Amino acid sequence: MSEKFAIGSVVVGKVTGVQPYGAFVALDENTQGLVHISEITHGYVKDINDHVKVGDEVNVKVLSIDEEAGKIGLSIRATQEAPAETEKPKKPKKRQIQMPVTEMDEQQGFNTLKEKLEEWIEQSKREDLIKK
C-alpha cells in the first residue's frame, strides 16, 4: 500500500461511497481510502451529500496510512486553497453615561442589613402599624 502512495502526495480518486461520517474514495482498483467529513472542505459541513456524490472524481491528499489495519486517511480540503477570512463588522462600543448623583439618590440606595434591622424593630414597636 505505502509503495504506491506516500503520505503528503496528492492523487486523483473516484468517490465510491458516501456515509454521514465521510466519503470512500478509490485510489486505484485495489486501494480505497476515507475522507472524513471534517476533511471534505473548509468550514462546517452539515450534509456531506451537498459536497460529493458517488462517481465524482476528486483530488485527495494522503494524510495517513495504516498498513496493519489497511486504512488510508485522505483529505479533499488539503488540496483546496483556504478561503480568505472576511472581517466581521465591528459593533459600536456602548458608552457609559455619567449621571450626576443627587441627594435623593443617596437616600434611596441600599441599606445595610444592620441599618434595616434597626428600622424594622422600630416599626414593630409602633402601635399604629400593628394589625389587630
Do residues 25 and 34 lie in contact, with contact meaning Cβ atoms separated by under 8 Å?
A: yes
Q: Of 130 and 26, which is predicted with more confidence? A: 26
Tens digits of residue pLDDT in 33-73:
999 999 999 888 889 999 999 999 999 999 998 888 888 99
Which amino acid type is present at position 122? E
Entry pTM = 0.59
**CB-side neighbour CA atoms (13 Å) of 97:** 2
Taking residues 3-8, report their average pLDDT. Answer: 82
| Domains contained in the chain, CATH given | 10-79 (2.40.50.140)
Torsion sign across C-alpha atoms 99, 102, 108, 109? positive
Residues with Cβ within 8 Å of 65's Cβ and at least 6 positions away in sequence, in order, are: 1, 2, 5, 7, 71, 72, 73
